[in-house]
Amino acid sequence: MSRRTATARKSPKPRSRPLLAPDVTYVDYKDTDLLRRFLSDRGKIRSRRITRVTAQQQRLIAAAVKNAREMALLPYSSRPGQTAGQSVRSSPAG
């Protein structure tokens, strides 16, 4: 077995921090364009590690997303081709 030698890692590319943009002053549940940046394609809230926000900002985002869902501004889930009450399976055989 070969030992891993001490190699210098490349520094990661600096990623944008969406809440540090100059046009964002606070997280509002009515700002659906901002909140959609923190949702996955399935409608789940993305983790802090992915979105690069602090713990306090993540709590504010989560509360805003939940309020927006309650007010029907954002979907609870966004699976393509599925509506409420439908099963994922196709029609039964037979």
Q: What is the pLDDT of residues 12-38, one digit of tens each?
A: 777 778 788 878 888 999 999 999 999
Residue 68: pLDDT band with limits 50, 70, 90: very high
C-alpha 62/C-alpha 68 separation (Å) is: 10
Radius of gyration of the chain (CA): 20
List b or e across 62-74, with b for residues whose CB sees 16 or more CB atoms inside 10 angstroms: eebbeebbeeeeb
pTM (predicted TM-score): 0.68
| 55 pLDDT higher than 80 | yes
Structure tokens at 57: 């900002």
The distance in angstroms from the start CA to the end CA of the chain is 58
Q: What φ, ψ does residue 33 adopt, rounded to 5°?
A: -65, -40
